[in-house]
Chain A
Amino acid sequence: MLRVVDVSFAYGGQHVLRDVSFVVPRGRIVGLLGPNGSGKTTLLRIVAGTLRPLRGHAEIDGADVTTLSRRDVARRLAVVPQETHSAFDFKVQDIVLMGRYPHLRAFEIEGPNDLAIAREALAATGTLSLERRPFNTLSGGEKQRVVIAGALAQAAEVLLLDEPTASLDLGSQLDIAALLLRLNRDRGTTMIVCTHDLNFAASLCAELVLIRQGRVLALGATADVLTPENIRALYDVRADIMFHPRAQHLTVVPIARA
């Protein structure tokens, strides 16, 4: 279980987050919505332990992430960024094996067990056939699936995803949504997903946390929180929201700037 407790943060005197609190129960997918600059990415960094909050704390299974070592945090949760570039020609398999870093001691080389975990993660994301390909030659959607495989090899229990579909085409966006839903269903993977794509969030997330100017605007079950009033308060946009019978989830159609 992840808990964010009264977290505040400021960059050089400028408040980015104020008293943000929410809980992510085990096995739940929670979406983090908010306009640009609302503090979503900062919040994700604080949960991942790569940024220290000014006040408050984030905890994983009852432990404050700032009291855990980098390796301890990395063994429990993995981060999937919007895009991943490699400066050198690593193979897909190398990228996934790098997820094993926090599980290895200094000077220890990955063993058969790590290789098995990596291959299993590749299989789970449908990328086993890409194993030997250079990572930099993959398409955006393929790269993202490989990075998710690396995240699974690192810490299969909790994933933090920062706009995982923002730079992908429509088909790849649907692939990633289906993959994340499958991982959640089959393995009970807990996820926090930052996104600007409201329909992606509606198709994926059981619960939403809406953040505006560093404060929680609303939180709760997606069906309760994803309302025209909240969208207007969040983005200053008038939108129609309806349940789409064929998609089987709420859909948001933006109408105009409010």
Chain B
Amino acid sequence: MTIGAFGALLVVVCVLAPLVGSTRISLVRAFSRSQPFADNVDAQIFFIARLPRVVGAALVGAGLAAAGVVLQALLRNPLAAPETLGVSIGASVGAVVAITLLPDFSIGGISAVPVASFTGSLGALAIVYGLSVARSRGMSSTVLLLGGVVLTSFLGAIVSLVQYLADFSQTFRTVRWLMGSLDVGSYPPIVAALVPLTCAVVGYATLPRALDLISLGPEAAAARGVDVVRAERVALVSASLSTGAAVSLAGPIGFIGIVVPHLVRLMVGADHRLVLPASALFGAAFLIGCDLVARTMFAPLELPVGIVTATIGGPFFLWLLFRRTR
């Protein structure tokens, strides 16, 4: 029931968002079969110019929100997110290196940038997870969080270094990429992102109940029959796949992984069998909404959506912190 409502919201947003833009189009005409697609301007704008961006926003929003839910449960900390574990900065290093060293490389409409940023995000998580299991029995969530913080500033320095050494036009591109933007103009990058996202969804599907139990502590979960080590690995791999896919599509878009799961928990409660799918659906709708603001607020100028999510997310995060510590 609840999931149905969130699904309906996403479908409505997906259909309405492409209607908004510099040229007014009609939904009826866009879906009309009375004239061929080649002559139907409304359909062309809807399906070719605007829908890829909306679908991209949906995938990115869903991927980041789901990763946030899973990481928060795993670390038993509602403030954990892909960016706090160094996953986003890992992706940024990959992207910045690719933009600087392989600016013109491309296979089948996909440049080196998404591939490199995807690899970077997996690499960063592998390092942090490796550190967290190296010295303790089981995974240390303290090491995972602190490792993420340290890795973020260390890799941030590498990003700055590469930018400093790059020429002007490359630096401009990297700066734009790091702002996070949903300027998805075609379908091939979306199809490419669907591969890791599908793997992540398979992993996520096995997790919700185990996450409920792990949120009482790994020892308590193990005593109730959860294979904790396996669940932790599935969770981390799925979270990095979906974050990696999201970041490779749109750059590092902040706060979705914190804001969305928190709002959803306020609406549906704590049960991850509801929270996880509802967050993915709501995250998709939320980012489409943010992108709509980014596209229309200073039209015809299109803001990078990362600016919009950060201006909403930053104050929200502080409010969350304040509410928790009071």
B215 and A81 contacting across the interface, CB-CB below 8 Å? no
Interface residues of B in 177-235 (CB under 8 A from A): 205-206, 209, 212-213, 215-217, 219-220, 222-227
Segment of A67-75, A199-207, A233-241 engaged in the interface with chain B:
A67-75
Segment of A30-38, A94-102, A247-255 engaged in the interface with chain B:
A94-102
B217 and A85 contacting across the interface, CB-CB below 8 Å? yes
Min CB gap B76→A, angstroms: 4
- A154 to B221 alpha-carbon distance, docked (Å): 12
B270 and A94 contacting across the interface, CB-CB below 8 Å? yes
Number of A-B contacts (CB under 8 A): 76
Interface residues of A in 137-156 (CB under 8 A from B): 154
B216 and A70 contacting across the interface, CB-CB below 8 Å? no
B112 at the interface (CB under 8 A from A): no
B226 and A94 contacting across the interface, CB-CB below 8 Å? no
- A79 to B212 alpha-carbon distance, docked (Å): 17
Min CB gap A45→B, angstroms: 8
Digit string of B261-292 for contact with A (CB within 8 Å is 1, else 0)?
A: 00001000111010000000000000000000
A167 at the interface (CB under 8 A from B): no
A102 and B225 contacting across the interface, CB-CB below 8 Å? yes
A70 and B78 contacting across the interface, CB-CB below 8 Å? no
B296 at the interface (CB under 8 A from A): no
B225 and A101 contacting across the interface, CB-CB below 8 Å? yes
A101 and B213 contacting across the interface, CB-CB below 8 Å? yes
B76 and A74 contacting across the interface, CB-CB below 8 Å? no
Decide yes or no: A48 and B223 within 8 Å by CB, A88-B270, A101-B213 being known contacts.
Answer: yes
Interface residues of B in 241-277 (CB under 8 A from A): 265, 269-271, 273
Chain A positions within 8 Å of B, measured between CB atoms, are 45, 48, 50, 70-71, 73-75, 78-79, 81, 84-91, 94-95, 98-99, 101-102, 104, 106-107, 109, 154
A-B contact pairs, 11 of them (CB 8 A): A50-B219, A70-B227, A74-B223, A85-B217, A87-B72, A88-B78, A90-B270, A101-B213, A102-B224, A104-B209, A154-B224
> Lowest 8 CB-CB distances: which A-B pairs, in order?
A74-B225, A102-B225, A79-B223, A87-B76, A88-B270, A71-B225, A87-B215, A50-B222
